[in-house]
Amino acid sequence: MYNLLVVDDEEIAIRGIVQGIDWSALPISDIYTAYDAEEARRIFSEHPVHVLISDIDMPRENGIQLLTWVKEASPATKTIFLTGHADFNFAQQAIQLDSFDYLLKPIDHDELKLCVEKALESVREREREESFRKTYAFYFEQWNRQLPLLVERLWQDVLNLRIPATARQLEPMFKLYGMNLDMEKPVMPLLISVEEWKQEWNARDEEIMTYALRNAASDLLLDGREGHVIQESNGMLFVIFYNPAAEEGAALESRCAEYIRKCSAYLYAVVSCYIGEAASVGSLRAGVQSLAEMERSNIGQTGTVFRLCAQTRERKKAAAAPNLQEWSVLVEQGRKAELKQRIDELFERLQLDQVDHTYMVHYYFGLVHTIFQLLQRRGIPSESIYSEGEWRGGEQAMKSLGAMKAWTVQFTGRAADYLGTQVKEVSNAIAKVQQFVEANLHQDLNREAIAEHVYLNPAYLSRLFRKETGKSLTDYLVELRMQRSMRELKETNIKISDISISVGYGNFSHFSKQFKRTTGLTPQEYRKKYQDVL
């Protein structure tokens, strides 16, 4: 409902408008009256006024002067002027001040009522526009808040093959998210490897500290440049630079060194930076894979800046006629349709090349090795899938591209079918880690010692362990130690201090605090509670 204010220095004129017109059909809740501009301003200060009907020719302060004030104090109010004189100057000023209408006395009541009805409709329209503007502003703010997450998810989808890196798929997304990119502009990946935490974190604390590493990377590595920091599902951190400058090399290495120093000093993390090469968006995944290979191969140097070396690039070219790493991912995830598409694309290209027998031999053994390596990592005997040695059929397939393609589809498809229906299993490497930890629980174990036992990069092992078990190595160690402690306290009379040492806690106070944090009881209380029951 809306309010109406009638201003006129003649009481009879006000009564004629207020009482002589049936306003009940209009959405008007209150009608206020004033005999001069001063009284009108007081009403404006006490009530919202949606439509103002005012005489122009009033003593002391006329209607034009009142409207000038109203435009400042209540700009949403619609003003209808009434006057007994067809004065052009008045009409001109009223138009300049954007009055809603200008009517001559004597006023036809139906005409005035219709004019007020139109003014109220104009007020409603303004309210709808204002409501839309506020709604739009609210969702625009929400959109901007979510935009970094949407951009991160886009890059995650590209790197994990959930969407193809094609212009048709990506360029509309670049435009939607306001990213200054297209398929021709270069991007450059940088991998941040968290090699060691200087303090023991539980899973929640590690997640918080990783978030801090991401923010620091945005501030120090991007440093206002176009790009985005993303975290992969396996925990790996990447910085993707958009349109990197050719002269960026030395400056970026300097920023990386500063980032490594500050992460060590303030975030309790030993990290290394692996800098890739600028390439098109379509080649981004290959560049990221090359950096991941460099990180996995590095088991000696920590807290260092690395660049993708020429030898790595050449080795990648020599083995990448088929993108075997990508195929391995698709096989492991059981994504046969996408795998078949990649195989079709490769063999379409090979039709245009001069493929000799040497190429076919390398291709065949490379693919067999990749699939068998995948099965070994998953702890699956090859006989479970190829019980009759079907993989050997590739030798006959080397005689033609068509035969090799058919063999490839069949060979990879069998593995994809098997893995796609398998229940998730802990890999051989993780099983070895678990066996090693259980056998050496009495020692002061850390991530580096465990990684050395299975010949893996510590950062890579942490991500693999979390991916396979859903727990961090730190949480797993604490859980195992607490389980063994509870069993010893329940079932034996061994001194509590000896139990503490037997599960790797040289500091009894630390052991006691961790035990109470886990069970809610001190070791003494726990033993008394459960041994009294027995």
For 413-439, the pLDDT digits (tens) are: 989 988 876 534 446 778 888 889 989
pTM of the entire structure?
0.52
- Whether the per-residue pLDDT at 85 is higher than 70: the answer is no
Mean residue pLDDT across the chain: 86
What is the mean pLDDT of the segment spanning 354-376? 83
Residues 437 and 415 in one domain: no
Collapsing DSSP states into helix, strand and coil, what is residue 181? coil
CA dist 327 → 294, 337, 370 (Å): 19, 12, 9
Residues 23 and 120 in one domain: yes
Residues 111 and 188 in one domain: no
Write out the residue range of the structural domain in which residue 483 sits: 428-533
Residue 51 lies in a domain: yes
If DSSP states are collapsed to H, E and C, what string results for 204-254? HHHHHHHHHHHHHHHHHHHCCCCEEEEECCCCCEEEEEECCCHHHHHHHHH
Q: Is residue 348 very low, low, confident or very high in pLDDT (cuts 50, 70, 90)?
A: confident
Residue 259 and residue 217 in contact, taking contact as beta carbons nearer than 8 Å:
yes
- Whether the per-residue pLDDT at 252 is higher than 70: the answer is yes
pLDDT in the model for residue 289 = 87
Residues 435 and 415 in one domain: no
Residues 334 and 286 in one domain: no
Residues 291 and 218 in one domain: yes
Q: How far apart, in whole angstroms, are the C-alpha atoms of residue 204 and residue 210?
A: 10
Residues 293 and 186 in one domain: yes
Residue 172 lies in a domain: no
Residue 120 and residue 50 in contact, taking contact as beta carbons nearer than 8 Å:
yes
Residues 263 and 356 in one domain: no
Higher pLDDT, 302 or 129: 129
Residue 139 lies in a domain: no
Residues 528 and 464 in one domain: yes
Residues 18 and 66 in one domain: yes
User: 24 phi and psi, to 5 degrees?
Assistant: -65, -25
pLDDT in the model for residue 457 = 84
Tally of CB atoms within 10 A around 342: 17
CATH code of the domain containing 306: 3.30.70.270
Residue 142 lies in a domain: no
Residue 166 lies in a domain: no
- Whether the per-residue pLDDT at 92 is higher than 70: the answer is no
What's the one-letter identity of residue 412? T
Higher pLDDT, 390 or 197: 197
CATH code of the domain containing 469: 1.10.10.60
Give the domain-ending residue among 390, 421, 452.
421
If DSSP states are collapsed to H, E and C, what string results for 22-57? CCCCCCEEEEEEECCHHHHHHHHHHCCCCEEEEECC
Residue 414 lies in a domain: yes
Residue 152 lies in a domain: no
Residue 526 lies in a domain: yes
CATH code of the domain containing 81: 3.40.50.2300
CA dist 325 → 5, 149, 239, 374 (Å): 77, 27, 21, 10
- Which is nearest to 457 in space by CA: 293, 341, 320, 278? 293
Residues 291 and 206 in one domain: yes
Tally of CB atoms within 10 A around 281: 23
Residues 184 and 308 in one domain: yes
Domain count, the chain: 4
- Whether the per-residue pLDDT at 286 is higher than 60: the answer is yes
Give the domain-ending residue among 262, 286, 319.
319
Give the domain-ending residue among 109, 128, 147.
128
